[in-house]
Amino acid sequence: MVVALSLTIIIFEYYWLIPVLAYGFLARVLTGPTLSPMGLLATKVVAPGLKLPVKLVPGPPKRFAQTIGLVFSVTALILHFGFGLSGAASVVLGILALFAFLESAFAFCAGCLTFAVLMRLGLIPEDVCEACVF
């Protein structure tokens, strides 16, 4: 969903959709998929429709990754609407789309990996995610 929306914004210059993308991340950061239209569609329609095996992962790394997505989408929002830098906003959205693609196609979550590294370094306390402790 993030890949499709980000690429739609970039390719068709539908910058008015950036707030929709940012809202989706904000809703997932605050409540999980319950208030995010993209999150609900992904968890209630797309994932069950694919009939792939369920791979449960701890919540804190996913929430961390979604927070990074929020930062990227809000950065694009500010670049475009605040400074009129549509090209820069597109670059930020392109990076977001790349990492979203890596997660959807190869199950590689860069935000989750960053979370794990920060835990190993002691920058995120172990009690934040006991299931994540190595």
Domain assignments of the chain as residue spans, ordered by start = 2-132
DSSP per-residue codes, 72-111: HHHHHHIIIIIH--HHHHHHHHHHHHHHHHHHHHH---HH
| pTM, to two decimals | 0.90
Least confident of 34-38, 53-57, 94-98: 53-57
**Mean pLDDT value across the chain:** 92
The vertex-77 CA angle with 71 and 101, nearest 5°, equals 60
Q: What is the pLDDT of residues 95-127, one digit of tens each?
A: 999 999 999 899 899 999 999 999 999 999 999
